[in-house]
Amino acid sequence: MILQVTVGCSHNRCSFCSMYLRKKFRVRELEEIYYDIDYAANLNRNIRRIFLADGNSLTMGTDRLLSILEKLYSSFPFLERVSSYTNPQDLLEKSVEELKSLKESGLTLVYLGVETGNEEILNKINKGVTREEMIEAAVKAKEAEMQLSVTVINGLGEEEMMFEHARDTSTLLNRVEPEYLGVLTLMVAPGTPLAKQVQKGEFKTLSSRQVLEEIEIMIKHIDLSGCIFRSNHASNYLPLKGTLSEDAGELLSLIDRVLRGGETHRLRPESFRGL
């Protein structure tokens, strides 16, 4: 079940993101949220997984979040997991003790958009944090023993910074050790600052071949164990999945066959890509 506890994203300034462009950020009233929980529980008490929407519910005060979690676990007796997106800023603002109390109250998984591990690109896309702050935020979630799922985006460094983007993202991931890693491919969403940069010729997207080269560099530099890796989102040219770094050889071999062995039929056509 998706439970809306906030509306929009409190940051809402990443240059590529159109998710909440038209939504003014606000935290919903507790009464409204409780009403929704009661309504859903009356319909189906057997729900096992709940996601707190929208973009960053962790921006709410810890006490408020704890009350919501308590209400959820008492309303749904079979509830196993509550998860949420988080901004790095939200993790930085909470203490590890606060995050631990949230984890112990059932917020067991957070999704963090890392996007890139490169300092210059983080700045260009207006992520609002430095590389070290991103690492600190992710490590805090890990210290609180929350499961961490991160996403990174291929193509953010354009052609000039392909290598730096891939390498620095991998070294960041190595320090953070997420349980889940999702790799998306940049799509230019209308209405975003990035779309304007593309229009003015200030930003160039990568070809499908370059995107694969970038993923190849990334996988070569990743040194993890048991990280569930997915690059099979509709934005990706080549669907990939495995466990890193255990399956790195297999993944690299597939990429190599597409890049250099003529298996280009495996690539998703541009018109089939979507967000």
Q: Residue numbers of the site for ligand SF4 (CB under 6 A)? A: 9, 11-14, 17, 19-20, 55, 87, 113
d(CA 136, CA 139): 5
Which phi-psi region, left, alpha or beta, contains residue 201 (left: φ > 0; alpha: ψ -120 to 50)? left
Question: Radius of gyration of the chain from Cα atoms?
Answer: 19
**Residue whose structure tokens are 């569930």:** 228
Q: Dihedral through CA 172, CA 175, CA 181, CA 186, nearest 10?
A: 0
Task: Note whether 91 and 141 are within 8 A (CB).
Answer: yes
For ligand SF4, the closer of residues 191 and 226 by Cβ is 191
Q: What is the rounded distance in angstroms from the CA atom of residue 142 to the CA atom of residue 134?
A: 13
Kindly tell me which of 8 and 106 has the beta carbon lying closer to ligand SF4.
8
Structure tokens at 1: 């079940």
Nearer to ligand SF4, 19 or 238 (CB): 19
Contact of 264 with 255, CB cutoff 8 Å: no
Strands 2-4 and 180-185: unpaired
Nearest distance in Å: CB 21, ligand SF4: 8
